[in-house]
Amino acid sequence: MAKSDLTAITNRPTVQDHVYGQLRQALMWGQFEPGALMTVKALADQFQTSPMPVREALRRLAAECGLDVARNGSVRVPPVSRRQLDDLCRARKALEGVATESAAAVITQDLLDEALSVAREHERLGRAGEVYAMLRKNQEFHFMIYEHSGSDVLPQLIEMLWLRFGPYMRMLSDLVKRQIDEGQLPDYSTQHYAILDALSGRRATDARAAMERDIEATQAFLQRICPD
């Protein structure tokens, strides 16, 4: 199993929630390879916990479709496929598009200023070749908008989609790293600025379209390397 940024848990009353939360975020960030086996012992060793909270975390994540459970009980990160990629992106565009469109009516100037700072930091990290930090900043940017859409339901549903999208984020991080190592620097920030410009002008339809184009750009990158 690939190493990740998991840390030891010492606060006993909340061990189970911490294990679940860290694993969920690690999967969403693409810290595990598609198809990677998730063993209770290895994870318990990383977290420095007993096996029980790890088992419960894996069970919860499997229930959210963030992990696959085989007939023999083994737990793995879901594999990737072109069909699943396209299906997830179709759902992402629908939900994230609606959330962005809704945000145009309620988003404040203070939040827009904060989101602009995040977008600029995302761009700076890309130029510096800090791929993993850049992708985390990308998630921060997106959810700043979704969480201020005026909906309690949409951010939760979108989070579940991002959890299922985790294996593709791993592929994306590997692809971006190779591009940067080869001296390429694709523009990953254009649509972020377009989204903010539309939100600032309260142009809800334009904001939704820019968010959909952002998702489509990621989809197009991944389609080239995703197995059929």
Quick check: do 12-76 and 82-223 share a fold? Answer: no
Torsion from C-alpha of 149, 136, 48, 12, nearest 10 degrees: -30
CB-neighbour burial class of residue 228 (10 A; exposed 0-12, middle 13-18, buried 19+) = exposed
Judge whether residue 112 has pLDDT over 80. yes
Could you tell me which CATH number the domain at 82-223 has? 1.20.120.530
pLDDT tens per residue, range 167-196 = 999 999 888 888 888 877 677 789 999 999
Residues 126, 180: Cα–Cα separation, whole Å: 9
**Fold that domain 12-76 belongs to in CATH:** Arc Repressor Mutant, subunit A (1.10.10)
Instruction: Please report, for the chain, the start and end positions of each structural domain, with discontinuous segments joined by +.
Output: 12-76, 82-223
- Distances, alpha carbon 77 to alpha carbons 43, 85, 222, in Å: 14, 15, 18
Tokens, residue 97: 């598009």
Tokens, residue 16: 């189970």
Judge whether residue 227 has pLDDT over 90. no
Taking alpha carbons only, the member of 125, 127, 138, 119 closest to residue 183 is 127
As a whole number of Å, the end-to-end CA separation of the chain is: 24
pLDDT tens per residue, range 6-18 = 776 555 558 889 9
Residues 4, 166: Cα–Cα separation, whole Å: 14
